[in-house]
Structure 1
Amino acid sequence: MEALLKFSDIIDAVVTRVGKWASLLAIPLMIVILYDVIQRKFGGQGSIKLQELEWHLHTGLFMLCFGFAYIRDAHVRIELIRDNLRPRTRAIVEMIGGIICVLPFCALVLYFGFDFVARSFESGEVSASTTGLTHRWIIKSTIPIGFGLLAMAGLSIFLKCFVYVFGPTNLHKRAGYYVGTHHLEELGTAKIKD
């Protein structure tokens, strides 16, 4: 079980590093948006290339940080239900959700995504606008990369939850971060009874 947690930590480190670097795309995104707004306001016209660059940067930011958000438990979920579940139940629900939803969906997107990018690359796909950006395959490649990172994050979360449910109690603290045990400790109830 310790080996599963170590493997999960390695996956977390990779996904986190990519997510943190990708989050820096927010800086050029803000600069491009500001420049585009100023250009429209005072220059009288916008630029198709700038608009498409905004979409590309936003897509890259979102897709490459998707797995990072899942690792950090910062994605959208129904907290009203989840917060009222015991940590062991949360872990079981998370494992079932990972096996039934997250990993199969990521596998489908990866399977079709690589072909999607390859066709775009081979055809030399460009923007539908005559003044738009070229090399459309670059932005399309963030889809399989992003879902690959999300699949890695899903596997990591599954392993942590698996260790929490089936592993020894001395590993609960390390494995239980994702199922909410850290919140209980922060509130002063370090003893968690399942």
Structure 2
Amino acid sequence: MAILLNIARILETPVIWIGSRAAWLSVILMAVIVFDVTLRHWFVVGSTQLQELEWHLHGALFLLCLGWAYIRGAHVRIELLSDRWSARRRAWVELAGCTLFLLPYVTMLLIYGGDYVAISFAYEEASASPTGLTNRWIIKGVMILGVALLGLAGTARFLEAIVYLTGTAETAGKTRFAAAQRTISSRT
């Protein structure tokens, strides 16, 4: 079981590395938004390229940080229910969610997404707006990268749930499920 936990940590490494750096896109996004608003408000100059750049930066920020948020437990979940559950039950729900929803969804996106990017690249797809951004394949490629990172994060959580549910007390104690259980126990 320690091997599975080590594999989970190895899978998390690129997700954490890329996600923590991609979070800095928020600073760039804010600068672009302020610049765009300043141009439109004070100089009455609108720019389709700036607005599309904002969308692309926002998309990249979300996609590249999604797996990182999932690993950290910062993603959306129904705390009303999960906060009352034992760590064991949460591990079972995580295992089922990864098996039935997350990993199949990621797999489908990766299978069909590669063609989506390749076609966009081959046809030199650009914005529908004549003054918009070119090279639409870049943001589509970021989408595939983000989904792949989410897949790595989901696989890591899947392995961690298996370790928690079937491992020894020592290895199970090294998982995030055990850490979450200690946090809940300290609140009561």
* Superposition TM-score, scaled by structure 1 size: 0.93
Q: What secondary structure sits across from 1:129 in the alignment?
A: coil
Match of 1:119 in 2: 119
Are the structure 2 counterparts of residues 29 and 169 from structure 1 closer, same or farther at C-alpha, using a change threshold of 3 Å?
A: same
Match of 2:103 in 1: 103
1:125-177 CA-partner distances (Å, limit 9, x unpaired): 01111111100000111111111000100000011110000000112221144
Displacement of 1:179 in angstroms is: 7.2
Asked if the contact 1:32/1:54 (under 8 Å) is kept, the reply is: yes
Are the structure 2 counterparts of residues 112 and 137 from structure 1 closer, same or farther at C-alpha, using a change threshold of 3 Å?
A: same
Match of 2:13 in 1: 13
Q: What secondary structure sits across from 2:174 in the alignment?
A: helix
Match of 2:162 in 1: 162
1:27-79 CA-partner distances (Å, limit 9, x unpaired): 11110000001111101121000000000111111101110010001000111
Displacement of 1:14 in angstroms is: 1.3
Structure 2 alignment gaps of length 5 or more: none
Asked if the contact 2:25/2:61 (under 8 Å) is kept, the reply is: yes
Matched to 2:134, the amino acid is T
CA distance in 2, matches of 1:34, 1:172: 47
Structure 1 alignment gaps of length 5 or more: 190-194
Q: CA RMSD for the aligned pairs?
A: 1.4
Match of 2:144 in 1: 144
Are the structure 2 counterparts of residues 51 and 28 from structure 1 closer, same or farther at C-alpha, using a change threshold of 3 Å?
A: same
Match of 2:34 in 1: 34
Asked if the contact 2:120/2:136 (under 8 Å) is kept, the reply is: yes
Residues 1:25 and 2:25 are matched in the alignment: yes
Match of 1:78 in 2: 78
Give the length in aligned residue pairs. 188
Identity across aligned pairs (percent)? 44
Displacement of 1:188 in angstroms is: 6.7
CA distance in 2, matches of 1:57, 1:119: 22
Asked if the contact 1:66/1:150 (under 8 Å) is kept, the reply is: yes
Asked if the contact 2:117/2:141 (under 8 Å) is kept, the reply is: yes
CA distance in 2, matches of 1:175, 1:2: 10
CA distance in 2, matches of 1:143, 1:157: 21
Q: What secondary structure sits across from 1:39 in the alignment?
A: helix
Matched to 1:97, the amino acid is G
Match of 2:49 in 1: 49
Match of 1:181 in 2: 181
Match of 2:133 in 1: 133
